Amino acid sequence: MKKVVKFGGSSLASAEQFGKVGAIIRADKDRRYVVPSAPGKRDSKDTKVTDMLYGAYALAEKGKDFDKELEAIKARYQEIIDGLRLELSLDKEFEKVKADFKAKAGSDYAASRGEYLNGIIMADYLGYDFIDAAEVIFFDDNGNFMPDKTNEVLRDRLKESERAVIPGFYGAKLDGTIKTFSRGGSDITGSIVAKAAKVDVYENWTDVSGFLVADPRVIDNPKGIDTITYRELRELSYMGASVLHEDAIFPVRKEGIPINIRNTNAPKDKGTWIVEDTCQRSKYTITGIAGKKGFCAINIEKDGMNSEVGFGRKVLQAFEQNGISFEHVPSGIDTMTVFVHQSEFEEKEQNVLATIHKLVQPDFIELEADLALIAVVGRGMRQTRGTAGRIFSALAHANVNVKMIDQGSSELNIIIGVKNDDFEEAIRAIYRIFVEIQL
């Protein structure tokens, strides 16, 4: 068996955390490929190394002195090296970073050095090979990830290494320019490595013991999720559940490689398994609840719109022309509602409304702002009658007015729209009826 293990920034913030990580890796000989993030916060008042690098580079870009900032970053790494009692020097690496900053190598380059330097330390600490991600993960000239070339080159490189460390978060364009994924992109690197190495399991180690049914900032001590499918995770991640970068699913999903979310500080916890599919029923009818605030609804009315061919396409064209993506489009016989991010819509609202009038000549348009969307997700809903009814009942008892409900044909999720002010109470009401009372 082979495993890829990815460790987040909180798991590698100090020498003490490195020690925990080392013990985890050495406890299982199958953990052969390691993907580290940059050092995260050591405490709530601390600063992530990635943010420190952004700050130092911002000064360099303006032609200002950044020696003090770079020394502070170097000190963070030296603290880890000394704490692990390694005979390792990063002096030459920092000399190169300083020169590249002065040459204005780019903010992506600056940010990537956090993972790069941590990878060097990790490889030295474990006695593993070090593989620079810039040599095996590729982006085209437009900055788009190149999965086929990456998989081919990385696969061949990993065949040469029985055990290796590959830094997360970055790769390189074909001309060698460093390019990063979005924040949290080390999760994606781990998934890419897992696919190329054709491993049996991708372990993603962080500071929580897997996914929770609901946000702990809203629900006190929510229950954990033992097993979740890729599709369920995709829905929850999109709606705000942030344990794993949502794009990390795709490379391993195609290969059928399961992901195991684990806690570095509680390694005996089983965590959450993310799988393609499962015959295991979840403990509850629902698997999870997630949501976001900050939406608005554009309600369009026109008599006979249901028989007007192309009406919906024309309405959505008005949003497309103004560079606005939509979230949900519930509709009736003479009504159609488009939910969009309020922050994207506000600056262009009058242009959008004018375009809608021009394209479809509606009878009436009404806007409603300050809305939230909540996703209730679960494979168990397919086999359970009356799920939507129980949601409505729970919200009614909590005095929450439902603004919208949308359910796909897959019966995997139900989207509910409520006022921003009712967001937390709505989640508590849904959690209560499905998890605490289990009706």
167: in domain: yes
The per-residue b/e assignment along 281-293, b for 16 or more CB within 10 angstroms, e otherwise, is ebbbbbbbbbbbb
Choose between 114 and 410: higher pLDDT. Answer: 114
Distances (CA, A) of 138 to 105, 145, 186, 246: 18, 6, 15, 20
- Domain hosting residue 58, numbered range: 3-207
pLDDT at 240 (0 to 100) = 74
Question: Contact 408/418 with Cβ under 8 angstroms?
Answer: no
pLDDT band at 409 (very low <50, low <70, confident <90, very high): low
193 and 304 assigned to the same domain: no
pLDDT at 141 (0 to 100) = 93
Handedness of CA 372, 323, 139, 40 (dihedral sign): negative
Give the mean model confidence (pLDDT) for residues 29-34.
Answer: 97
Question: Contact 12/36 with Cβ under 8 angstroms?
Answer: yes
pLDDT at 297 (0 to 100) = 95
pLDDT at 147 (0 to 100) = 94
pTM recorded for the entire structure: 0.85
**What are the structure tokens assigned to 193, written together?**
């490595």
Q: Is the pLDDT of residue 407 over 70?
A: yes
pLDDT at 29 (0 to 100) = 96
pLDDT at 410 (0 to 100) = 67
pLDDT band at 430 (very low <50, low <70, confident <90, very high): very high
Q: Is the pLDDT of residue 236 over 90?
A: no
pLDDT at 284 (0 to 100) = 87
Residue 292 to residue 237: CA distance in whole angstroms: 11
pLDDT band at 125 (very low <50, low <70, confident <90, very high): very high
365: in domain: yes
Domain boundary among 207, 223, 258: 207
pLDDT at 382 (0 to 100) = 78
Percent over 90 (pLDDT), the chain? 79
pLDDT at 73 (0 to 100) = 98
Residue 312 to residue 305: CA distance in whole angstroms: 9
279: in domain: no
**What are the structure tokens assigned to 381, written together?**
């809903």
101 and 196 assigned to the same domain: yes
144: in domain: yes
80 and 202 assigned to the same domain: yes
pLDDT at 439 (0 to 100) = 58
Q: Which of 245, 244, 241, 249 is nearest to 214 (CA)?
A: 241
Residue 282 to residue 326: CA distance in whole angstroms: 31
Residue 429 to residue 1: CA distance in whole angstroms: 44
Give the mean model confidence (pLDDT) for residues 214-235.
Answer: 90
What is the gyration radius of the CA atoms in the chain, in angstroms? 24
* Beta partners for residue 172, in sequence order: 138, 178
What's the mean per-residue pLDDT of the chain? 93
125: in domain: yes
Determine the length of the chain.
439
Q: Which of 257, 295, 355 is nearest to 6 (CA)?
A: 257
pLDDT at 52 (0 to 100) = 97
Question: Contact 257/195 with Cβ under 8 angstroms?
Answer: yes
192 and 333 assigned to the same domain: no
pLDDT at 405 (0 to 100) = 87
Distances (CA, A) of 169 to 20, 228, 245, 277, 368: 22, 25, 11, 28, 39
If one counts the domains in the chain, the total is 2
242: in domain: no
Domain boundary among 207, 242, 262: 207
Give the mean model confidence (pLDDT) for residues 12-38.
Answer: 97
Give the mean model confidence (pLDDT) for residues 196-221.
Answer: 93
Residue 243 to residue 232: CA distance in whole angstroms: 14
Among 85-89, 128-132, 169-173, 401-405, the range scoring the smallest mean pLDDT is 401-405
State pLDDT tens for residues 71-103: 999 999 999 999 999 999 999 999 999 999 999
pLDDT at 380 (0 to 100) = 83
Domain boundary among 207, 242, 272: 207
405: in domain: yes
CATH number of residue 140's parent domain: 3.40.1160.10
CA 169 to chain centre: 12
Q: Is the pLDDT of residue 195 over 70?
A: yes
User: Angle at Cα 16 formed by Cα 15 and Cα 19, nearest 5°?
Assistant: 85
64 and 181 assigned to the same domain: yes
pLDDT at 231 (0 to 100) = 87
Q: Is the pLDDT of residue 50 over 90?
A: yes
Q: Is the pLDDT of residue 57 over 90?
A: yes
186 and 42 assigned to the same domain: yes
